[in-house]
Amino acid sequence: MTQRRKKAAPVSAPPPARKFFGTDGIRGVANEHPMTPEVALRLGRAIAFVARRDPRRAVRVVIGKDTRLSGYMLETALAAGICAMGGRVMLSGPIPTPAVAYLTTSMRADAGVVISASHNPFGDNGIKIFGPDGFKLVDEKELEIETLLEDDRLDCENPTGNGIGKAVRIDDAAGRYVVYCKSTFPSSRTLDGVGVVVDAGHGAAYRVAPAVFAELGADVHAIGCRPNGRNINRDAGALHPKHVVTEVKARGASIGIALDGDADRVVVIDEKGHIVDGDVLMALCATRLLRAGRLAKKTLVTTVMSNLGLERAMEHAGGRLVRTAVGDRYVVEAMRAGGYNFGGEQSGHLVFLEHASTGDGIVAALQVLEMMIAEERPLSELAREIMVKVPQVLENVTLPERRPLDKMPALSALSAKVERALGHKGRLLVRWSGTEPKLRVMVEGEDSARIAAYAKELIAAAEKDIASRPVNGAPRAPKRSRAARASTSRRRLVSSP
């Protein structure tokens, strides 16, 4: 349902539906299927089975996690499953997702596993897997693991005696990652005199993020760095950057950095307290790389969610834009397939393949800081002139049933009508979330009021479809009370030029 522009590269196809894996691993409520210790144990066995490259040696797997209470339960179960297959587990403790990707390659492991639900509430958790090259597994590998979870091949391998594996702890995992992050910042520069407010969202970066910026010389004020197992993302971090905004203004800091629960994405705040979104950050970084002759094939890779203004900014600078399905893993897959070196998402996942194999909020913030120092200009000034946003509205709604879009006639008919009305001056995207039970509607166009009305009408059409009798004959979802409807999760974002 996306409206393509003539100069934009084709949008990559969305991933096929799978039973366990979504767009970013397996995710759900901790201790409810599939995020149970029983599934995690079997998943550990499957990971060890698939990751084994040399039958003459034990498979080696790095396991990291964020700060959720349920991480202990899932970590133990995963490690037990891997050890039951004769594997060796290396536990890093709470550490960002990109740190696990880095340690997997640095320690020549066969796989890396992250236990995190990223930006979700603390009651949720998730599991995502990296290959030996530090990249997230492709769909085919995840499908192979899914198949193993439900057949009996794993039950035929039960080593005994010396064949059983063991788990060890990487005591200096955080320090290794801090050194790696600093290596992505030019050795000829420092952050001396730069005021930095960093909010780790009580998540995985609560120790490493303040350390990275402080060791480079910045005057760091850290908030959101007191996890208790239950407060990850709660009124903190990238989901709630208002606290960073307040501190930046109060302290006269040069920049604010808000990370999500696993620190693979970042929300940046300029010295005036204004949020600089992911599209603007991508425009800034991509045009500088383009100017320096370092943007591979003069191409930026992003998703269908990014603003048309970003596409126009790249065209104006002499570059091009390639769009993918939503999810940083699909951005990375397109980058690798096309030979590109920079991409990201509007949400703040920025991937610099010269430095990292996945989104890294700390590394991305360092690249922005380096730009500010090199050009001797404040971030507000750099951001103001880089792109003109097309008004965009995003509506999210939680519905009681997840139905294929082509089985929702009212929504389909209205979507076609809206696309015709927008023409080449706007875009429409309707999709189910890959990590949450939500329908997402994004509308772009030149008239803010008009696209806002379209978004509300589309949400109403979706609710009408779900309220009608299901096409497959399944029982209708129970009618929700007014209070339940009022609690329906909706978020509206309008960006204007």
Residue 103 amino acid letter: L
Burial class (CB in 10 A: 0-12, 13-18, 19+), 17: exposed
Residues 6 or more apart whose CB falls under 8 angstroms from that of 35 comprise 26, 27, 28, 29, 70, 74, 124, 125, 126, 127
Residue 273 amino acid letter: G
Q: How far apart are CA 129 and CA 138, in angstroms?
A: 10
Burial class (CB in 10 A: 0-12, 13-18, 19+), 10: exposed
DSSP letter for each residue of 57-115 = S--EEEEEE-S-TTHHHHHHHHHHHHHHTT-EEEEEEE--HHHHHHHHHHTT-SEEEEE
Angle, helices 37-51 vs 139-150, to 10°: value is 120
Active site residues: 118
CB 480 within 8 A of CB 401: no
Angle, helices 308-317 vs 278-291, to 10°: value is 10
Residue 14 amino acid letter: P
Residue 59 amino acid letter: V
What letter would DSSP give residue 274? -
CB 352 within 8 A of CB 239: no
For residue 187, the SS3 value is: coil
Residue matched to tokens 């890093």: 92
Angle, helices 173-183 vs 208-215, to 10°: value is 40
Residues 6 or more apart whose CB falls under 8 angstroms from that of 59 comprise 48, 51, 52, 53, 82, 85, 86, 87, 88, 110, 111
CB 399 within 8 A of CB 463: yes
Q: What angle do CA 278, 25, 95 make, to 5 degrees?
A: 70
Q: How far apart are CA 280 and CA 348, in angstroms?
A: 10
